[in-house]
């Protein structure tokens, strides 16, 4: 019989999420090292960066959750979902190179704007501008190309991915927390003053559970669209992790132990045949 955790409510006890996130952190590091070693395309670099940013955000959510800073948990959750929707749209449109050029152009222009401002340019470390002269030619060349790229619409991408619930109850909900509202901080006030017992507040484990799911889907999407072929055991882990989030099954641990038993000399991926 497969091991499961019995729970009285919809979500797992927080200690099991902590353990799972620690294991997911190690798993994604293995993926990142492989992408860093074997990935050669701009697409692989973007996938690598999206995965790295997402797992760091997930660990940040856990830290904020422990501090009962639930509003910022949801804001970081929205950031993770944004990367998920971007990754799917980029793969669908095969727009990784265009996105990279567009990003380079926007970031160069931002730095140049600061460097041209007599008030700010002398107050910022010169290291902030150190690559601008070296990158000027590339910026000029990209401007001649005029790369056209628009950010994807999250609602449309979520519907396309059959992840409407992550948009409605994650991205869209969190969007209301990014900017101040009339009752912004009310729950923080009640918690800080202890005027309301903690058990009277809504269960906030949803943000942990759904953030874990979003990161797993980002990794799964990234492996599928990368220029590399990955061992089936890597996908087994991700599938079992999603089952853990659904019903508490511990099978993901077995998959992780199998990956660990392969040893450092075992390649978990290889280049696709062209």
How high is the pLDDT of residue 40? 86
Instruction: Provide the pLDDT confidence category of residue 253 given band limits of 50, 70 and 90.
Output: very high
Structure tokens at 190: 């009640």
Q: What element of type H or E holds 32?
A: helix 14-38
168: number of Cβ within 10 Å: 12
pLDDT tens per residue, range 44-69: 999 999 999 999 999 999 999 999 99
pLDDT tens per residue, range 98-150: 999 999 999 999 988 888 877 776 777 777 778 888 899 999 999 999 999 99
Write down the H helix ranges in the chain: 14-38, 42-66, 70-93, 96-115, 132-145, 154-160, 164-166, 172-178, 186-193, 205-225, 232-247, 251-261
Residue 120 vs residue 177, higher pLDDT:
177
The model carries a pTM of 0.91
Alpha-carbon torsion, ordered 27, 236, 168, 55, to 10 deg: 0
Distance in angstroms (rounded) separating the CA atoms of residues 188 and 60: 19
| Confidence check: pLDDT of 1 > 50 | no
Distance in angstroms (rounded) separating the CA atoms of residues 27 and 20: 10
The candidate with the shortest Cα–Cα distance to 60, out of 40, 50, 74, 49, is 74
Q: How does the average pLDDT of the chain come out, rounded?
A: 92
Instruction: Provide the pLDDT confidence category of residue 7 given band limits of 50, 70 and 90.
Output: very low
| Confidence check: pLDDT of 83 > 70 | yes
Q: What percent of the chain has pLDDT over 70?
A: 95
**Between 70-93 and 42-66, two packed helices, what is the crossing angle to 10 degrees?**
170
Distance in angstroms (rounded) separating the CA atoms of residues 139 and 142: 5
Please compute the mean of the pLDDT values over residues 236-257 and round it to a whole number.
Answer: 97
Structure tokens at 90: 């980029």
Instruction: Provide the pLDDT confidence category of residue 41 given band limits of 50, 70 and 90.
Output: very high
Q: Which residues, other chains included, contact 58 with Cβ-Cβ below 8 Å and sequence gap of 6+?
A: 21, 24, 80, 211, 212, 215
How high is the pLDDT of residue 9? 57
The candidate with the shortest Cα–Cα distance to 23, out of 71, 51, 55, is 55
| Confidence check: pLDDT of 205 > 90 | yes
Secondary structure E strands in the chain: 228-230, 269-271
Distance in angstroms (rounded) separating the CA atoms of residues 256 and 268: 13
201: number of Cβ within 10 Å: 13
């Amino acid at each position: 019989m497969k091991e499961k955790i019995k729970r009285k409510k919809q979500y797992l006890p927080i200690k099991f999420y902590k353990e799972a996130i620690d294991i997911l952190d190690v798993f994604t590091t293995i993926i990142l090292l492989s992408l860093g070693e074997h990935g050669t395309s701009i697409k692989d670099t973007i996938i690598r960066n999206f995965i790295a940013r997402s797992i760091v955000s997930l660990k940040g959510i856990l830290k904020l959750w422990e501090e009962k800073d639930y509003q910022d948990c949801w804001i970081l959750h929205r950031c993770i979902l944004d990367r998920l929707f971007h990754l799917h749209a980029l793969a669908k449109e095969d727009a990784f190179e265009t996105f990279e050029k567009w990003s380079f152009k926007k970031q160069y222009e931002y730095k140049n704007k600061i460097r041209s401002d007599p008030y700010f340019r002398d107050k910022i470390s010169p290291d902030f501008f150190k690559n601008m002269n070296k990158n000027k030619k590339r910026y000029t060349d990209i401007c001649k190309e005029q790369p056209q790229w628009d950010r994807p619409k999250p609602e449309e991408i979520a519907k396309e991915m059959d992840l409407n619930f992550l948009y409605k109850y994650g991205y869209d909900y969190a969007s209301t927390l990014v900017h101040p509202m009339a009752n912004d901080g009310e729950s923080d006030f009640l918690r800080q003053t202890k005027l309301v017992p903690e058990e009277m507040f809504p269960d906030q484990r949803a943000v942990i559970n759904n953030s874990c799911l979003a990161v797993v889907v980002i990794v799964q999407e990234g492996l599928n669209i990368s220029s590399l072929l990955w061992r089936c055991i890597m996908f087994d882990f991700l599938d079992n992790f999603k089952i853990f989030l659904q019903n508490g099954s511990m099978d993901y641990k077995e998959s992780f132990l199998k990956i660990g038993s392969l040893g450092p000399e075992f390649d978990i991926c290889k280049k696709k045949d062209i």
